[in-house]
Amino acid sequence: MQVIDARADTARINQLFYRHIPESGLRNYWHPVAMSRDITEQPTAMTLMGDPVVLLRRQGRAYAVRNECPHRGTRLSKGSCEFPGSRTITCRYHGWTFDVADGRLVAALTDGPDSPIVGKARVRTYPVEERKGIVWIWLADSAPVPVEQDIPNGLLQADEVHTVRRIAPGNWRWHVENPGLGHATFLHRDSAYMRIVDMFGYAQGPHAVLGQEGEDGEWLMEKFEAMGSNRDYPGLGQWPRHRFGEFIPLGDFVGGPMGVRTIVSVRLPGIVRVARFPIEGALYYEWFVQTDADHYLYFQVACGYPKTWLQRASWLTRFFAWGRWAGMVRFNAQDLDMTEDSHAYAKTHGSNDPAPLYRPDGFQLAWRRYAVDHLRGGHGTSLHSDRAVPQTATS
């Protein structure tokens, strides 16, 4: 376990962060973009990190190709499968027909079987994998790593996997920096999800730790020493006031699923993990996949580990009657409402640095430092490498 404290080095970290962690997203990672059940023979068009992409299924497998015909730019999502059972898609305009596995032009139907253009044109393809009923895509030109490297163990080993997906206005970077103690005890107080919980007002001694807890691999975890109990704000009065109906005490975080006790954690490429959310016995993950300049796919995944039918019935009842709606839909909509403003602010001001710093911001800065230090395919971005920072930029 390693404590990551970045508060003394803020300016340099922010500079590296903006240079190496692009607002369009990190391409050298697998990202979840759809449910397997939704990808069928009929093409599904998406914009992913600015790329027009079409997802479709052929011969039982999911494929992704660039949603632009190289002939005259027609969207291949308007196309059809003219050879049932094959791996092809045919463009709607002039009938160019591509193999979706490698992108090769295998026929030009309006030029006959001997068309000399065959084999000479190609549409870009993207590696696709399916795990746990989710479609994962690799948007970089580089050779992909095994998809399991980018899927947390807690998801790979889950017995129940349920998602909520929506396109949100904003930028993925601000949502990765949303989770944490600086907002949770305040923003969510009035949510239905938290209304019956006796919330503490603040966390004492917040700090970030990089390490492994339980069986879920390495994460940057937000730790704190104690729940703040002093409610007296001199000259102002008491806060928080106890509200009628707050009968669930916020207990100790011990014995979470997969051995995870920390409430909130983050890892590259910007995955947030929350233990015991949205119901007891769940591990929750969320991804933020940038689509266009002002939107991202907010991909929320709840994982459960019931082993008997009775446990499963209990888990599903609590999830569908309460956790999904009150937690993943409503509670998390409060976060979306805030991060949309963060994006608008960053567009106006060119950045969105927590300034002036207050103690809970330490986690956001630790994430920035961890991200630039551990970035896959980073080009010597380490904070410890002098080469990475040109002289002009450090002054």
Binding site for ligand FES (CB under 6 A): 69, 71-72, 74, 91, 93-96
263 binds, among ligand FES, Fe ion, none (CB under 5 to 8 A by kind): none
Residue 330, CA atoms < 13 Å, CB-side half-sphere:
14
Residue 15 parent element (H or E): helix 10-20
* Residue number with CB closer to ligand FES (107 or 184): 107
Binding partner selected for residue 26 from Fe ion, ligand FES, none, CB under the kind-specific 5 to 8 Å limit: none
Taking the least distance from each CB to ligand FES, the nearer of 78 and 195 is 78
We find the least distance from the C-beta atom of residue 71 to ligand FES, in angstroms, to be: 3
Looking at the Cβ atoms of 68 and 335, the one nearer to Fe ion is 335
Shortest approach of ligand FES to residue 44 CB, angstroms?
19
How far is Cα 112 from Cα 108, in angstroms, rounded to an integer? 7
Q: Which is nearer to Fe ion, 16 or 181 (CB)?
A: 181
Q: Token digits for 249? A: 């005490």
Q: CB count, 10 Å around CB of 93?
A: 16
Helix (H) or strand (E) holding 160: strand 160-169
Of these partners, ligand FES, Fe ion, none, which one is at the site of residue 325 (CB under 5 to 8 Å by kind)?
Answer: none
Cα 266 from Cα 286, distance rounded (Å): 10
Phi, psi of 12 (to 5 degrees): -70, -40
Smallest gap from residue 121 Cβ to ligand FES (A): 9
DSSP conformation class of 207: E
User: Closest approach of Cβ 337 to Fe ion, in Å?
Assistant: 10
CB of 175 to Fe ion, least distance (A): 10
Q: Which does 201 bind (CB under 5 to 8 A by kind): ligand FES, Fe ion, none?
A: none
Q: Which does 335 bind (CB under 5 to 8 A by kind): Fe ion, ligand FES, none?
A: Fe ion
Least distance (Å) between residue 169 CB and Fe ion: 17
Q: Which residues bind Fe ion (CB under 5 A)?
A: 335
The nearer residue to ligand FES, 43 or 182, going by C-beta atoms, is 43
List the Cα angle 350/352/354 in 5-degree steps: 145
Shortest Cβ distance from residue 54 to ligand FES (Å)? 13
Which among Fe ion, ligand FES, none contacts residue 96 (Cβ within 5 to 8 A by kind)? ligand FES
Matching residue, tokens 């207050």: 358
- C-alpha span between 230 and 100 (Å, rounded): 62
Q: What is the β-pairing status of strands 197-198 and 248-249?
A: parallel
The token pair that represents 383 in the structure block: 């904070």
Which is closer to Fe ion, CB of 150 or CB of 335?
Answer: 335
- Is the Cα dihedral 185, 341, 278, 302 positive or negative? negative
Tokens of 119: 């084999």
- Decide whether 55 or 91 has the Cβ nearer to ligand FES: 91
